[in-house]
Structure 1
Amino acid sequence: NKGVAYCPHCDGPLFKGKRVAVIGGGNSGVEAAIDLAGLVSHVTLIEFDGQLRADAVLQAKLRSLPNATVIVSAQSTEVHGDGAKVTGLAYKDRTTGEQKTIELEGIFVQIGLVPNTEWLKGAIELSPRGEIEIDARGQTSVPGIFAAGDATTVPYKQIVIAMGEGAKAALSAFDHLIRSEPVEVKQAA
């Protein structure tokens, strides 16, 4: 709660009327900047690459907003703070090598994450991105194994979604267990 956030939907309202930056120029970053523009006084989107990677329609929407700025070829280098909260973001202009600073109160990181599922390779089906493939009930490719959260193929990854998906997977696992044939347990002599 000091100014660096990962969910514009969860934490965006905390920055109402303030200046923020979004780091990441893919669909997630541009969507976050568009959403935040409706709440904050100004949003600056920072992209490492020389161009945004988001869908053209999203880029057009972002560029049409009067309180949004897009900076490309920028390498975020440092978050500035006063010990209690964020006060700015430093970045290197990758075309000129110049160091620049933006004064702001919040930073939203939207650069994409790699799920921690390497240990599951070969055990259950994973998407090309390494996410656990699940159905609408949280069932994986192996009967009786359920998954939930940001490591799965569920869209809109954030804690509130993961909590709901976890409850759904737990209920599905319970349903699976009560419908399964009991396993006979042998007592040791």
Structure 2
Amino acid sequence: MTATLVRPAPEVVAERAREIHTALTGDPEIGRLERAVSQYTSDWDDFYGYPVIIEYDAVADAPGLFTEAIRAMAIKSAVWDLTGGDEQASELPLSVPVDTMTHAMMAQFSLLTRMMQRHSIQFVHMTDMEQGAAAWDHGDYTHQVYRAAFGPANDRYWIGADETERRRTVLDGVYGGIGVTERGKRVSIPLGVGDSTS
């Protein structure tokens, strides 16, 4: 039997999310965090997250994605606060590109730890809680809170579930031709002749 998630009303979460967002964007290290997450280039492989954005540009899209990720994390942190630390309720579905940017944020562990401690905020991100969960979509709980807290979502980055899957299917066809399959989990590209152990 699956337990039903109980989350606070979107308007209540939105109010707390705005408070958290204000604290985060006013933090003395917010600029450093933005620079750090924007520096992922060849060291960060991503086949199905950012590439679902049409004409994605790692440099040009970084500021917009960062804005959306900070807002998303503020919403998730607000749910955490208002549910007494319910991790399952707080692990809200996000649009795939926004979620990918939150992964880049989570990699800045020491910096995020300082920010959480300064503002008594708990960031929430657990991949095992995402498995089997519904994909983000227009009109869902996350979207309701977002609109109440920050107004209309940026359609470039908040891509609905069906359209995300359609774009990923297109990527499947492109990547499959070069040996990238299983949504990027398996890569079979000839890298040259030689001993595979060297």
TM-score (norm 2): 0.25
Give 1 or 2 for the bigger CA radius of gyration: 1
TM-score (norm 1): 0.26
Q: 1 or 2, which has the higher strand percentage? A: 1
Relative contact order, higher structure (CA 8 A, sep 6+): 2
Q: 1 or 2, which has the higher helix percentage? A: 2
